[in-house]
Amino acid sequence: MNVESNVPSPAHRVRVLRLLALPVLAWATLTSHCFAEAVTERRGSLVIIGGGERPGRIHHRFIALAGGTNHARIAVLPMASGEPERSGRLQAEEFRGFGVKDVDVVRFDRSQAMLPATAERLMGYTGVFFTGGDQARLAAVLVGTPCEAALHRMRDTRGAVIGGTSAGAAIMSRVMITGDQRGEPDRKADFAVVRRGATLTSTGLGLVTNAIVDQHFIARRRQNRLVGVTLEHPELIGVGIDEATALVVLPDGSWEVEGDGSVMVFDARGVKVRQEGPHANLGAKGVGFHLLLPGDRWDPTAGR
């Protein structure tokens, strides 16, 4: 048998390869398009809780966004707490009490947060929850690390939900209120002034890109400090979340209130901010104000 007699000519082979390439190219184009759509459609949510007691419906909302009790894989990050082992254990037990089968307490220090393997481990979860405590502790571990980048990828492309309470809420914004006040040591508790630089800020995770988050808001009368920080950063919306209340940031960027309390919004976008006197007192006219109640939904991109 002459084997070569069954081999197509070079011209024939080119024609066949071209014909075969058409459906392959079409499939590749379609797959690429569908993948891009899937990434866009899988943007996740944020559940930002103002602290205090949390109504069950806030937990249910977080769990549902993480995939439901049977499919959620939740990582509890307790590093803000002064007692992280106890705080993490209690939070994990709370999620298990609501029926979640797969909950881990995940603790690491900054050196571990710099490791790609730690970031990769985080990427395996459908939900991440920060406990309360001191937001500066949590920021010291996470900000500027591969783990911070992983949190953004989880939310932006994997559909994961990221939530936190108290300190775990404050760290959500890039401009992070630390809880400390400059120049008024005898009045630290009440933040009685609205002055430039009076409220100390640091760098948070930036999961909320258009706002500054404050927590325990109405219960601890923190309106003055949020107004001051908002006027220092008028391009950002000041959002104060009360206890037993959550601000849910949906994939489309709109905000929804869950829980028992309210969310207070100060919007100085486009407003001229004035600074007067030797103490750098701040003032402005036309600042927008909203008081959002449970069930309310607001689009911060729609303007004041």
Catalytic residues: 166, 184, 216
Q: In the Cβ-directed half-sphere of 241, how many Cα atoms lie within 13 Å?
A: 33
H or E element that contains 121: helix 116-122
Q: 218-242 in b/e burial notation, b at 16+ Cβ within 10 A?
A: bebebbbbbbbbbbbbbebbbbbbb
Q: Facing residues of 102 across strands? A: 73
Three-class secondary structure assignment of 31-48: HHHHHHHHHHHCCCCEEE
- Residue 22 to residue 43: CA distance in whole angstroms: 33
Q: Facing residues of 297 across strands? A: 256
272: amino acid identity, one letter? K
| Three-class SS state of 89 | helix
